[in-house]
Structure 1
Amino acid sequence: MDMPTKEKAIASNRDAWNDSARHHKDSPEWQAHLNGVVQADFSCLDDTLTGLLEQVGVDGKDVVQLGCNNGRESLSLFALGARSVVGVDQSEAFLDQARELAARSPHAPQFIEADIHHLPHELQGRFDVALITIGVLNWMPDIGEFFRHVAQTLKPGGSLVVYETHPFLEMFDPEAADPYRLASSYFRSEPFVQNEPIVYEGKVEQPSASSYWFVHTLGAIFSGALDAGLQISHFKEYPHSNREELYDRYQEQKAQLPLCFTWVAVKA
């Protein structure tokens, strides 16, 4: 396949997410979030991420979530005592949902529409903690460049917290006839391309802007962060899945894959 330019991939991914936003509002989770965010202690974060953020320390801190989607996780940071929260995403449609949730919340996060590669100057050197959760790293064509921009948002000594799917999972296709057979190289260089709306469960059979999902090895992730001046202080792999339900089949196996990881890096 022809590799898209970085700019084309980023722009097409933005269009694909904007196309997909309305489908996410059709899910039971959306109604649950609408009802839940009215509580001051609302949180949709699981125990793994909650424990790590408590360990890093969010209480009284300024936090940015890069790739905040509909803002549900950004709003959850207030339950951990965050002083201020900024959510950044390049999808205007999902930020509309984030603001809808925030309007029902007692908290007041700020949501900013921006491509991570062109962040507003006002975000530079501003935050104690930056958060990246499932489904952000793989939308980035150049993981090293991505981390350079992320690092710029942190104060000296600030921490980047990542909770992501494990790149080993990209070698498997959970919908294949044999979902346990290796389907793709760990070192795959070309992105996976999807031309249907991006939804977390099932499929929506209609055309959409193309989305490009890039595979990054753990080595590329570590090297990209180190080259950006980030010092890795924590890395842990887990046997549970934090992505779509399709991947739950890979849990609780006798020969268990690592399914997700947490990772903390500190700005020098």
Structure 2
Amino acid sequence: MDMPSAEQAITSNKDAWDASAHLHKGTATWNTLLKSVADAEFSCLDATLTGLLESVGIAGKDVVQLCCNNGRESLSLFSLGARSVVGVDQSGAFLQQARELAEASPYGPEFVETDIHHLPERLLGRFDVALVTIGAMNWMPDVALFMRHVASTLKPGGTLVIYETHPFLEMFDPLAANPMLPASSYFQRDPFVLQSSIVYEGQAEEAGPTSYWYVHTLGSVVSGAIAAQLRITHLQEYPHSNREELYDKYEHQPAQLPLCFTLTATKAHA
């Protein structure tokens, strides 16, 4: 199979997310979320990310979340004292959901529809903290280029915070006959080609537009941050899963796999 160009993959991924958005509404999860965001203390962030953001310090800060999806994590940042929050995503359909959640909340985040590779000038050099969470980088054909665009949103001295699935976990297929046997190479560069709707566990899958899922090694993530003139200040790997429940089977193994990681990096002062 011929692999798409980076531009083709980015467009295909946007189309796939837009086409899948309706599957995320009308569910018990959505209805609960819509009610929960009315609480000023609402947060969907787990203890790992909450603790990291508290240590970085976002109280009184201007924060951007890149690839914010339906905005639930962006809204959660206000409970940690963020002064302002901007969520960026290329899926207009998901940002419509983000705005609906924001209307139900006491806060006023801004949501910007754009591909991260074409950020509007008003977002450049504006933020104290840039947040990237689970699954964002895997839709990006070039992680070093992604890092440069993320870094461009930060003020001098600003901090990038990443909380991601560990790329080592991408070697395993939780639905395989033997889910503990590596199913793909850690060094695979061609993307996984997906042809089903993008849904979370517990929702019915259906055929959907083709999308492309890229696995970037931990080394390529770190090198990409360094090449973007960011100074790595923290990198930690964890044995817990921050993916769907399907991946919980990889926790608590006698020979434990690394399942997720956090990274912070600071933009140099001018």
Class of the TM-score when normalised by the shorter of the 2 chains = over 0.9
Shift in Å at residue 151 of structure 1? 0.4
* Alpha-carbon distance in structure 2 between the residues aligned to 1:248 and 1:146: 29
Written as runs of structure 1 = structure 2, the 5 A alignment for 1:1-268 is: 1-202=1-202, 204-268=204-268
* Alpha-carbon distance in structure 2 between the residues aligned to 1:127 and 1:190: 33
* Alpha-carbon distance in structure 1 between the residues aligned to 2:218 and 2:132: 15
Gaps of 5+ in 1: none
* Alpha-carbon distance in structure 2 between the residues aligned to 1:201 and 1:256: 23
* Alpha-carbon distance in structure 1 between the residues aligned to 2:232 and 2:30: 35
Residue by residue over 1:26-81, the C-alpha shift from the partner in whole angstroms, topping out at 9 and shown as x without a partner, is: 43221111011111111010000000000000000000000000000000000000
* Alpha-carbon distance in structure 2 between the residues aligned to 1:219 and 1:98: 33
SS at match of 1:210: strand
* Alpha-carbon distance in structure 2 between the residues aligned to 1:167 and 1:181: 15
Provide TM-score, normalisation by structure 2: 0.98
SS at match of 2:207: coil
SS at match of 1:209: strand
Provide TM-score, normalisation by structure 1: 0.98
* Alpha-carbon distance in structure 2 between the residues aligned to 1:236 and 1:26: 37
* Alpha-carbon distance in structure 2 between the residues aligned to 1:204 and 1:187: 31
Shift in Å at residue 24 of structure 1? 1.1
CA RMSD between the two structures: 0.9
Shift in Å at residue 213 of structure 1? 0.3
Q: Answer whether contact 1:165 1:260 (CA < 8 A) is retained.
A: yes
Distance 1:48 1:205, change over 3 A: closer
Q: Answer whether contact 2:199 2:205 (CA < 8 A) is retained.
A: no
Residue by residue over 1:117-153, the C-alpha shift from the partner in whole angstroms, topping out at 9 and shown as x without a partner, is: 0001000000000000001010000001000000000
- Which has the higher mean CA deviation after the structures are superposed, 126-135 or 23-32? 23-32
**Aligned AA (2:189):** S
Matched length: 268
Distance 1:211 1:204, change over 3 A: farther
Distance 1:205 1:233, change over 3 A: closer
Shift in Å at residue 183 of structure 1? 0.5
* Alpha-carbon distance in structure 2 between the residues aligned to 1:26 and 1:224: 39
- Which has the higher mean CA deviation after the structures are superposed, 199-208 or 181-190? 199-208
Gaps of 5+ in 2: none
